[in-house]
Amino acid sequence: MSTLFSFSPRSPHNAFLPLTRQRLRQRRGGLLVRFSLASLDFLDSDPPLPPAVQTFWKWMTEEGVISSSTCPLKPAYVPEGLGLIARRDIAEDEIILRVPRRLWVNPDTVAASEIGYLCTDLKPWAQVSLFLTRERLRPNSSWRFYIDILPEKTNSTIYWSEEELAELKGTLLLRMTKEMKEYVKSEFLKIEQEIIRPNKELFPSSITLDDFYWAFGMIRSRAFSRLTGQLAMLPLVDFINHSSKITREDNAEEMNGPAGLFSWDLLFCLKSTIPVKEGEQVFIQYGLKKNNADLALYYGFVERNSARDAYTFTFSIPESDPYYGDKVEIAKENDLDETAYFDVFMDRPITQAMLQYLRVAAIQQTDAFLLEPDQKLLEVGNLGERLDIAVRVRLGGKLVLQQIQLEFKERQLKLDAFEYYQERRFKELGLVGDIGEIYCQPKDSVPSV
């Protein structure tokens, strides 16, 4: 997750001083941390790794997360920016990283901090965002070595300018981005009013909305939640980049184990889901169900793979509908709501869930989309990273919509072969049941009683 690697300008200058082969001393949260460099020759790189990365790696070593003799990975420059490559052959399902709970950045971390008592009523993401923002502004933060390697920003659409966002006109990604930024802004203004301003002794440095956007973006792009049941940022694990070639997501587990020379802790264990040869980059899958709009919003990249092209439909049951209450009740019984979102992917059929929901809320508008302008832009090339993302998201959505139009036309031709009849509540509306079964029968069939 180290795509578009850059450093925070707020990083203390001494974090970038060259490291020598003597014992380096750094002060961390009042504790004197000593790094032994002699056993870390595998960090040698041409060109040299950024000093902040070297310092971070040595901190991880001192914390017992990395052992120079057993760690199968090392940081390196890769096409994505920075990543982790194998120091030796790695077997399928081999555990490659173990990060103890004391190094997770999660709501428990916030609760144990100076501002913990102020954050109890905040949403988990807001707690961690405020904590990260504050720690980033503290020169002597105990998390300084980790924060120094976090990028200043990514190509996530939450960091795009208004001019860049204009290239997304007509896409759900534009609406998602604007709604997300507005939601984060409203939460920040509330935090600023209720927590930051009344407690200036705990927040001596000015915290801006952009600072809060930065922290939120780091969480969205780097946090894990699959195992811990809550979001957690995991130092070192978030160095690993995404690859579409990885088709498994079962890459992590939690277990109790040694977390240092004399300590025992709950460990987040990451494993490689495929064999990796020495010198090759290690990858994980960021989400098989995510479409290109999701990838652009969360991580700031898209896959050049039509399987990720999707269009997200938003359907709502209008309050003016005379059967509004009953329709919403039925939707909720099927794990949906008065507003539902459905992703339709390229070359995949429309889901049954979407068809069922369409019996409750009908599509009220049609769209005509022209593919040629975007295809020409891609053929010309040299678009720049963000414009390239925008064009590919637009084009992917248009292709999917064309596919959906064809599918609906085919279904429309079959409608004359069916008739709907009443049985129980709302059967005349076709709210429940599968097409061709129970509530929708061919004209020559006899309804069951």
- CATH number, residue 380: 3.90.1420.10
- 34 has pLDDT over 50: no
Residues 354 and 418 in one domain: yes
Residues 297 and 399 in one domain: no
Q: Could you say which of 302, 334, 350 is where a domain stops?
A: 302
Mark the binding-site residues for S-adenosyl-L-methionine, compressed into ranges. 80-82, 241-242
Residues 38 and 88 in one domain: yes
Active site residue 420: no
The 10 Å Cβ neighbour count of residue 27 is: 12
Residues 187 and 140 in one domain: yes
What residues make up the domain containing 198? 1-302
**DSSP assignment of 1-37:** --BS----TTS-GGGGSPP-SS-EEEEETTEEEEE--
- 376 has pLDDT over 70: no
- Phi and psi torsions of 178, nearest 5°: -65, -40
Residues 272 and 312 in one domain: no
Mark the binding-site residues, compressed into ranges. 80-82, 222, 226, 238, 241-242, 286, 299
Q: Could you say which of 272, 302, 332 is where a domain stops?
A: 302
Active-site residue identified among 213, 286, 311, 357: 286
State if pTM tops 0.75.
Answer: no
**Residue scoring higher pLDDT (23 or 192):** 192
Cα angle: 308, vertex 309, 313; to 5 degrees: 115
Highest mean pLDDT among 34-48, 81-95, 320-334: 81-95
Residues 285 and 381 in one domain: no
Task: Work out the pLDDT band at 295, boundaries 50, 70, 90.
Answer: very high
Average pLDDT over residues 324-339: 77
The rounded distance, in Å, linking the Cα atoms of 70 and 66 is 8
The secondary structure of residue 247, as a DSSP letter, is -
- 359 has pLDDT over 80: no
448 domain-assigned? no
Are 6 and 15 within 8 A, CB to CB? no
Residues 132 and 201 in one domain: yes
Residues 355 and 253 in one domain: no
Beta strands in 129-263 (DSSP E): 223-224, 232-233, 241-242, 252-258
Mark the binding-site residues for substrate, compressed into ranges. 222, 226, 238, 286, 299
Judged by average pLDDT, the poorest of 307-311, 389-393, 406-410 is 406-410
Residues 35 and 179 in one domain: yes
With a pLDDT cut of 70, the percent of the chain lying above it is 69
**Residue scoring higher pLDDT (96 or 386):** 96
pLDDT of residue 258: 60
Residues 298 and 188 in one domain: yes
**From edge to edge, which strands make up the β-sheet containing 252-258?**
95-100, 264-271, 252-258
Cα angle: 26, vertex 30, 34; to 5 degrees: 30
The 10 Å Cβ neighbour count of residue 188 is: 24
**Residue scoring higher pLDDT (261 or 109):** 109
447 domain-assigned? no
Residues 313 and 293 in one domain: no
The rounded distance, in Å, linking the Cα atoms of 280 and 248 is 18
Average pLDDT over residues 255-259: 65
The rounded distance, in Å, linking the Cα atoms of 441 and 417 is 9
Highest mean pLDDT among 45-54, 62-71, 133-142, 285-294: 133-142
Residues 264 and 345 in one domain: no
Q: What is the CATH number of the domain that holds 99?
A: 3.90.1410.10
**Residue scoring higher pLDDT (342 or 23):** 342
